[in-house]
Amino acid sequence: MEPFVYQGTPSRVVFSWGALATLPEEVERLGARRALILATPEQRALADEVARVLGERAAGVHAEAVMHVPVSVARAALDTAAALDADCCVAVGGGSAIGLGKAIALESSLPIVAVPTTYAGSEMTPIYGLTEGRLKRTGRDPRVLPRTVIYDPSLTLSLPAEVTATSGMNAMAHAVEALYAEDANPTVSLMAEKSIRALGVALPAVVRAPDDAAMRSRALYGAWLAGTCLGAVGMALHHKLCHTLGGTFNLPHARTHAAMLPHTAHYNHAAAPAALARVARALGGREAAEAGPLLFALNRALGIPAALAALGMPEQGLDEAADLACRNPYANPRPVEREAIRALLGRAWQGAAPA
Ligand X SMILES: NC(=O)C1=CN([C@@H]2O[C@H](COP(=O)(O)OP(=O)(O)OC[C@H]3O[C@@H](n4cnc5c(N)ncnc54)[C@H](O)[C@@H]3O)[C@@H](O)[C@H]2O)C=CC1
Q: Which residues bind ligand X (CB under 6 A)?
A: 40, 42-43, 67-68, 93-97, 99, 117-118, 120-122, 125, 127, 129, 155-156, 158-159, 163, 167, 170, 230, 253-254
101 touches ligand LZMGALLQ (CB under 6 A): no
The CA distance from 252 to 235, in Å, is: 19
Partner whose footprint covers residue 158, from ligand X, ligand LZMGALLQ, none (CB < 5 to 8 Å by kind): ligand X
Partner whose footprint covers residue 239, from ligand LZMGALLQ, ligand X, none (CB < 5 to 8 Å by kind): ligand LZMGALLQ
The CA distance from 86 to 211, in Å, is: 36
330 touches ligand LZMGALLQ (CB under 6 A): no
DSSP per residue, 257-297: HHHHHHHHHHHHTTTSHHHHHHHHHHTT--SGGGHHHHHHH
- What residues does 137 pair with on adjacent strands? 130
Binding residue (CB under 6 A) for ligand LZMGALLQ from 159, 207, 242, 348: 242
Partner whose footprint covers residue 101, from ligand X, ligand LZMGALLQ, none (CB < 5 to 8 Å by kind): none
- What residues does 37 pair with on adjacent strands? 61, 90
The CA distance from 159 to 150, in Å, is: 17
Question: Residue 64 or residue 87: which is nearer to ligand X going by CB?
Answer: 64
Burial class (CB in 10 A: 0-12, 13-18, 19+), 305: middle
116 touches ligand LZMGALLQ (CB under 6 A): no
Determine the distance from the C-alpha atom of residue 227 to the mean position of all C-alpha atoms in its chain, rounded to a whole number.
Answer: 7
Q: Which range of residues in 120-128, 259-267, 300-308, 322-330 is near ligand LZMGALLQ by CB under 6 A?
A: 120-128
Q: Which range of residues in 9-17, 124-132, 205-213, 260-268 is near ligand LZMGALLQ by CB under 6 A?
A: 124-132
| Contact predicate 115/138, CB 8 Å | no
104 touches ligand LZMGALLQ (CB under 6 A): no
266 touches ligand LZMGALLQ (CB under 6 A): no
What Cα–Cα distance (Å) separates residue 10 from each residue in 5, 125, 142, 148, 275? 16, 10, 10, 9, 27
Binding residue (CB under 6 A) for ligand LZMGALLQ from 9, 138, 154, 187: 138
DSSP per residue, 125-191: --EEEEEETTEEEEEE-GGGS-SEEEE-GGGGTT--HHHHHHHHHHHHHHHHHHHT-TT--HHHHHH
112 touches ligand LZMGALLQ (CB under 6 A): no
Q: How far is the CB of 29 from ligand LZMGALLQ (least distance, A)?
A: 26
Q: Which of 92, 103, 171, 106 has its CA nearest to residue 131?
A: 103
The CA distance from 128 to 309, in Å, is: 27
Q: At what angle do helices 253-268 and 237-249 cross, to 10 degrees?
A: 150
Q: How far is the CB of 263 from ligand LZMGALLQ (least distance, A)?
A: 15
Q: How far is the CB of 161 from ligand X (least distance, A)?
A: 11
Partner whose footprint covers residue 221, from ligand X, ligand LZMGALLQ, none (CB < 5 to 8 Å by kind): none
Q: How far is the CB of 252 from ligand X (least distance, A)?
A: 8
* Contact positions with ligand LZMGALLQ (CB under 6 A) in 40-99: 99
- Applying CB under 6 A, which residues contact ligand LZMGALLQ? 99, 122, 127-129, 138, 170, 239, 242-243
